[in-house]
Amino acid sequence: MKFNVPDMTCGHCVATVTRAVRAADPAADVKVDLAGKTVTVETAIPAAAVAKALDDAGYSNTAL
């Protein structure tokens, strides 16, 4: 699944987003494209759970 996360601006954002997703699913494969403002996640949890984890970390997002 892929999400647009427009508020990411730096390496700290990348780390925070990655930690947030892995808190919801420690086995998740998270790939962040900072320049493209996207996060791609391979996980067994539902997309809504990933979106909520991103929201809870302070990052608005839209599923792509």
pLDDT band at residue 37 under the 50/70/90 scheme: very high
pLDDT band at 2 (very low <50, low <70, confident <90, very high): very high
Mean pLDDT of 21-47: 97
In the structure, what pLDDT confidence band is assigned to residue 44 with cuts at 50, 70 and 90?
very high
The CATH architecture that domain 2-63 belongs to is 2-Layer Sandwich (3.30)
CA 38 to chain centre: 8
Is the overall model pTM greater than 0.75, yes or no?
yes
Domain map (residue ranges) of the chain: 2-63
What spatial distance separates the first Cα and last Cα of the chain, rounded to whole Å? 8
